[in-house]
Structure 1
Amino acid sequence: MIINTTHHNAEHKQIIADLVGYPFSLVQKLKMKGVGSKRMIIEEVSPNMQSMMNTVSDINYANIELRPKGILVMINQGLKNFTWIIPYYQLVIYKVNGSSLHAQGRFIHFKNSKTFKENKKFFDKLLDEKVKYDMQFSMPATI
């Protein structure tokens, strides 16, 4: 689900909390050594997300925030902000010449640049959180 978060809206805050959980507490954020990525350059998006990209030749940026049950991808388009809410069970990550996030019939591909390389530790943390979440629902090996 993608919502326009340019202006504060209490209803949006509740939708985000229902889908991916409330933000981590300050203590949890310190233990995890941060829950947000640095901004990354968007190289390509799916056709159904094209309307959120800058129409002129400006560089498009996005960053990611971890939540207990998913992630938030914040996309900046000029003065507008959009948030793509992705629960972990819908998230698929591909590592091909940068990184690509897929969910809900959409994708966003981040350019393999200096800003992307600075986020390697963040992507490792993201994968660890996704695995932790998926292990809650794993099938028992033996009965």
Structure 2
Amino acid sequence: MLLNVSYNNKEITKKIDEEVGKPFTLKERFALDGIGSPKLFIVDSSIEIKNLLILDNNTNSCNIELRPKGIIIRFRSLLETFGLIIPYYKFTLYKTDLGIYTIYRDQYFIKIKSDTKAIQKFFTKLLGHRADNAPPNIEDI
């Protein structure tokens, strides 16, 4: 689900919370040693996301926020902030030999350059968190 998250809209916040859970508390954030990724540079993306990114001339970057039942990938276009909401049961991650991570949700995808150890460490944390919190069966959703 690709949403404009620039404004404080209760309906959008409710959709996000239903899909990936409410944000972690401060205590949980410390226990997880942070829930946000470093700055990630977008190499390629699906057509819906690409159409938003080409509207301005800035470098295409994003960040990832961990949530209890999924992740939110946020990126900016013009003066708006967009979020790709991905619950763990729809989350797919691939890594190439060139150090590029590809994140999929249904028809959406984002390819991210992994050029630092911090990014690799974050994706290791993400996969560990998904393994601990993803539902074991599709019926459990």
TM-score (norm: length of structure 1): 0.87
Match of 1:141 in 2: none
2:48 alignment counterpart: 48
Structure 1 unaligned runs (5+)?
139-143
Larger radius of gyration: 1
1:88 CA drift (Å): 0.1
* CA RMSD, 1 decimal: 1.5
**Equivalent residues in 2 for 1:108-127, closer than 5 Å:** 108-114=110-116, 117-127=117-127
> Are positions 1:23 and 2:23 aligned together?
yes
Deviations 1:23-63 (A, max 9, x none): 11111100110000011110100123222213454311100
Task: Give 3-state SS (helix, strand or coil) of 1:62's partner.
Answer: strand
2:61·2:75 contact (CA, 8 Å) conserved in 1? yes
Aligned partners of 1:62 and 1:75 also within 8 Å: yes
Name the SS for the 2:8 alignment partner.
coil
Structure-2 residue corresponding to 1:102: 104
In the alignment, residue 137 of structure 1 is paired with which amino acid? Answer: P
Kindly provide the CA deviation profile for residues 74-133 of structure 1, in whole angstroms up to 9, marking residues without a partner as x.
Answer: 01113110011000000000011321101121110012334xx42222111100011112
Structure 2 unaligned segments of length 5 or more: list them.
none
